[in-house]
Amino acid sequence: MYKIIGADGQPYGPVTVEQVRRWIAESRLNAQTLVQPEGAPDWRPLATFAELANELPPPTPSALGPAPAVPPVAGVRPSSDLSGKASTKVAAGVCGILLGALGIHKFILGYTGAGLIMLLVSILSCGMLAAVMGIIGLIEGILYLTKNDEEFVRVYVDARREWF
C-alpha cells in the first residue's frame, strides 16, 4: 500500500500497487510524484521504487513536470492527520462493548445503515435477537480497541469496513 502526493499537494491513499500502476498507465503519475510506502516515514520520488520504476514511460519534458492531480477514488480518501481520524476509535469501541445491541458504535463511525440494522433487529425482535446483536457489538468493540490508530483508520475509516 502506498500514499501519493497529488499535484494539488494533498496526500491520497492508501492505494494498492495495482492502483498506482493504473495511474502511471493513465499518465496521472510521473517519475517525480512523491510516494510513501506503508509504514515508511519518508516520501520519495516514484522513480526510486524498483517495483514501479519499470512501469514509468521514458522521460520526456512533459513527464518531468509536476504530476497531474490525482482525483479521489471510490473507497480511497485523502490522508490527513491520523489522530483526527482515529479520534472515534475509543468511543466506538466502548459503545460497541456496552451498547452493541443498539448499534451505537456504528452510528459513531458513520455507518448509519449498519447501525439501523442492529437497532431494528434488536427492537423488532422484541429483544429476542438483542443478545446476538450485543455479541456482534462486543466483538467489534474489542476489535476497534485492539487495533493501533493507523490500522483502525485504514480499515474502518478509509476503507469503510462496516462489519467485523
Asked if 10 and 23 count as a contact pair (C-beta separation under 8 A), the reply is no
Q: What is the DSSP letter of 9?
A: S
Q: What does the pLDDT average to over 76-93?
A: 73
Amino acid identity, position 93: G
Q: What is the CATH T-level fold of the domain 1-79, as seen in this structure?
A: Dna Ligase; domain 1 (3.30.1490)
Each residue of 103-130: pLDDT tens digit?
A: 999 999 889 999 999 999 999 999 999 9
* Residue 73's pLDDT band (cuts 50, 70, 90): low
pLDDT at 29 over 70: yes
Q: Where are the domains of the chain?
A: 1-79, 82-158
**Residue 9: its pLDDT value, please?**
78
| Distance of alpha carbon 163 from alpha carbon 22, whole angstroms | 29
The string of DSSP letters for 47-87 reads: GG-HHHHTTSPPP-TTTTSPPPP---BTTB-B---HHHHGG
- What average pLDDT does this structure show over 70-83? 55
Helix orientation angle between 89-99 and 130-146, rounded to the nearest 10 degrees:
150
